[in-house]
Amino acid sequence: MESQITWVENKKTAPPAVDQQRWSVEAIEALFALPFNDLIFKAQQVHREHFDANTVQLSTLLSIKTGGCPEDCGYCPQSAKYNTGVEAEKLMPIDEVLKAAQAAKDKGATRFCMGAAWRSPKDHQVDAVGEMVTAVKAMGLETCVTLGMLKEHQAKQLQEAGLDYYNHNLDTSPDFYGDIISTRTYQDRLDTLDRVRDAGIKVCCGGIVGLGETVNQRAGLIAQLANMAEPPESVPINNLVKVEGTPLADNAEIDPLDFVRTIAVARITMPTSFVRLSAGRESMNESTQALCFLAGANSIFYGEKLLVTDNPELERDTKLFEKLGLKRLES
């Protein structure tokens, strides 16, 4: 049956490069439908062509400005529209950010990500974050920020500050997006990604599994990402963290194997991207995480908090790495 989902045409998202495979939603659905062993085998083959299969990037994510966001993303505890117990805070002072960055580096992180709960930052806020980026980069860490929608001059400003990656997730497929968010359009997100690319910053862009989407819609998200003229260099795949007070707090749990399948499909369709096992890892047992690594995940966030939700502690991750014979990516 012909799928009703396509990707949104945009300057940087279509068409893909001539030598890049263009993935139809139907072809991606076919990957999801493969026998599990066949899918994992294919993902491993692709993964080993481009990466050391036993090396994983360690990243740390710090919330530098928490809560009070005017957006209505149905999954997010930082939205001011929901009563989740997350209080609005001011931008963190730069000395506290640098202290956290040094602690992350000391524990083995090579990538330091900073998140601020803004819809779209003001110029003076971008100035302040730019100073943080420059200082963190001087410590020898790869830098990434997520600040909401950007204007062209703001993206250029962050590039001049030395920013390596800008994170701006699509969350889900174009046709399901409106069921989750109403305060920002899909095109708004794509436009910000265009500005980031045009400024010469690498893109970190992924989505969330477990929002209530169908497999077809999950395939639509992957198609949107994989068919960008230049796919994101970093692709975070999140498992919905259900937070009391948000509209999605009572969503049904997805089967862990469906999440693993999503990791595998992302790896196959975006072979040179870092695929990050992101939010929701706290609720995963070691077996599920091991399958994700087998499926091609090669980056994780570590630390007690992932913005404002729980995340596995470093000690647990270290023990798991030892069991699986995994090693950290060195900078």
Task: Give the residue numbers annotated as catalytic, written as ranges.
Answer: 69, 73, 76, 113, 144, 204, 276
Q: Which of 254, 237, 221, 209 is nearest to 297 (CA)?
A: 237
The C-alpha atoms of residue 184 and residue 249 are separated, in whole angstroms, by 21
The C-alpha atoms of residue 107 and residue 58 are separated, in whole angstroms, by 9
Neighbours of 226 (CB within 10 A): 25
The C-alpha atoms of residue 184 and residue 24 are separated, in whole angstroms, by 26
- The first and second tokens of residue 267, run together, are 């790896």
Which amino acid appears at position 167 of this protein?
N
| CB 217, CB 172: distance < 8 Å | yes
Place of tokens 């066949």: 38
Q: Which of 272, 295, 274 is nearest to 20 (CA)?
A: 272
The C-alpha atoms of residue 89 and residue 104 are separated, in whole angstroms, by 22
How large is the greatest C-alpha to C-alpha distance in the chain, in angstroms?
Answer: 56
The C-alpha atoms of residue 138 and residue 270 are separated, in whole angstroms, by 30
| CB 237, CB 278: distance < 8 Å | yes
* Residue 196: C-alpha distances to residues 129, 163, 201, 250 (Å): 15, 10, 6, 35
List of residues 6+ apart from 287 with CB closer than 8 A: none
- R_g over Cα of the chain: 18
